[in-house]
Amino acid sequence: MLAILHPNTSLDSEEYRQTMHYLENLPNVTVRVHEVQGATQRLTEIYLLGDTKPLNKEEIEALPAVERAIRISEDYRILGRHRDDRRQSGFTYNGVEFNQSNLNIFAGLCAVDVPEHVEMMMQALEDNGEVCTRMGAYKPRTNPYSFQGHGKGCLPWVFEKAGKHGIKVIAMEITHESHIEEIDTCLEKLGRPTGVMLQVGTRNTQNFELLKAIGRQSTYPVLLKRGFGITLNESLNAAEYLASEGNANVIFCLRGMKTEAGQPHRNMVDFAHVPAVKRLTRMPVCVDPSHSVGSREQSPDGILDVMHATAQGVIAGANMVLVDFHPKPEKALVDGPQALLMQELPAYLEDIRLCHDTWKKRQAIYQRLKDDAAE
């Protein structure tokens, strides 16, 4: 069961103390408190775990600090959608809103290489009115002899350039919990010129100790990529690991499934799961067309496969796009052959906005149908 407190309830208030005293003394029930900071108010959610079936919903709602109570299902207890659940999806971080209705584009370098390329990428984003990017400092690689990323050595100049060009959020993959401290220390030393979204790569989707470590901190939101060799349910439960440790500011990323059936693409594009994830959970959903398609192949209509895959995800309701660009792909240290070019950025952004507008129009069509049926 979930007890949602009145907005902005103070944890020092008498109402909160009375409520917690009652809940903490329920037999065979464990209490877990989560705070959710929205754009205008703070909400406190109290999860009652254990033998909750005998609990009376009305009695819980009668407690002085409780606004309403919700019975929750077994799956995705924190991030999932539940019956009579009217909680909003998403969160705001560093002035950027992330929810199941809007769209943010994270175009950038799969792997940070040299300062000049980072500068060119961020300048292009600023010129096109974008405030988010992807920058890979830590790179897990299948081949032990491949470039593993510059690590903490590149963080100062990446963050400084982001601040210079008005970039508010950088999606950055981490592979070890020590990377959280490295990122936090560097940002603090620089006066926090930008923000970071911690990315969990597909290889680490079931690295449960890493998930727990990331979940225990609440400073940075998380982008969790679907595991390429496990079920959707298993990947969604990986996201729940993050939330169960305290950090529910999670975006779920679809990046293709590893199977020979996906050829000639690098992976089987799984963007039909965008609405499924939004139905099952309250998480915003990201698509990664670069790692799904894995090439710059072009169809006879003159449109790259990466762009077609992006359109499929966005027109199905995706809320974030994570995509590789590079000023000089032939010099990229990671995934250069799949990177889009700087001169393609304006058209790509225009295409995405067109698809997002189409998604909104599709919504309106079916809302009218629903309204007509209700009359």
pLDDT in tens, the chain (375 residues): 889 999 889 889 999 999 999 999 999 999 988 887 666 677 888 989 888 889 999 999 999 999 999 888 667 888 988 766 667 778 999 999 999 999 999 999 999 999 999 999 999 999 999 999 999 999 877 777 677 789 999 999 999 999 999 999 999 999 999 999 999 999 999 999 999 999 999 999 999 999 999 999 999 999 999 988 888 999 999 999 999 898 999 999 999 878 777 788 877 788 999 999 999 999 999 999 998 998 999 999 999 999 999 999 999 999 999 999 999 999 888 878 889 999 999 999 999 999 999 999 999 999 999 999 888
β-bridge partners, 50: 29
Tell me which DSSP letter residue 103 carries. -
How many angstroms separate the Cα of 318 from the Cα of each of 226, 309, 332, 338?
14, 12, 28, 21
Residue 125 burial (CB count, 10 A): 24
* Distance in angstroms (rounded) separating the CA atoms of residues 305 and 332: 20
In angstroms, the CA 303 to CA 355 distance is 14
CA–CA gap between residue 246 and residue 135 (Å, rounded):
26
pLDDT at res. 337: 86
Amino acid identity, residue 130? E
Q: In the chain, helix, strand, coil percent, each to 5?
A: 40, 20, 40
Q: What is the dihedral of CA 256, 74, 88, 310, to 10 degrees?
A: 10
DSSP state of 226: P
pLDDT at position 40 is 67
Rg of the chain over all Cα atoms, to the nearest angstrom: 22
| Residue 164: partners with Cβ closer than 8 Å, 6 or more residues away | 122, 193
Q: How far apart are CA 196 and CA 214, in angstroms?
A: 13
* Cα→Cα distances 284→111, 159, 231, 277, 370, Å: 24, 25, 19, 9, 24
Q: Indicate the Cα dihedral angle 59, 65, 70, 75, nearest 10°.
A: -120
Query: What's the confidence (pLDDT) of residue 350?
Result: 98
pLDDT at 43: 80
Long-range contacts of residues 26-32, Cβ cutoff 8 Å, at least 24 apart: 26/55, 27/51, 29/55, 32/244
Cα angle 64-67-73, degrees, rounded to a multiple of 5: 120
Q: What is the pLDDT of residue 135?
A: 97
Task: Give the residue carrying structure tokens 């796009």.
Answer: 321
**Domains detected in the chain:** 1-72 (3.30.70.1140), 90-365 (3.20.20.70)
Nearest to 319 by CA among 345, 355, 344: 355
DSSP conformational letter for 108 = E
CA distance 194 to 179: 17
- Confidence at residue 90, expressed as pLDDT on a 0 to 100 scale: 87
Antiparallel, parallel or unpaired: β 132-134 and 2-5: unpaired
CA angle 103, 4, 318 (to 5 degrees): 15
DSSP, collapsed to helix, strand or coil, labels residue 304 as strand
pLDDT of residue 228: 82
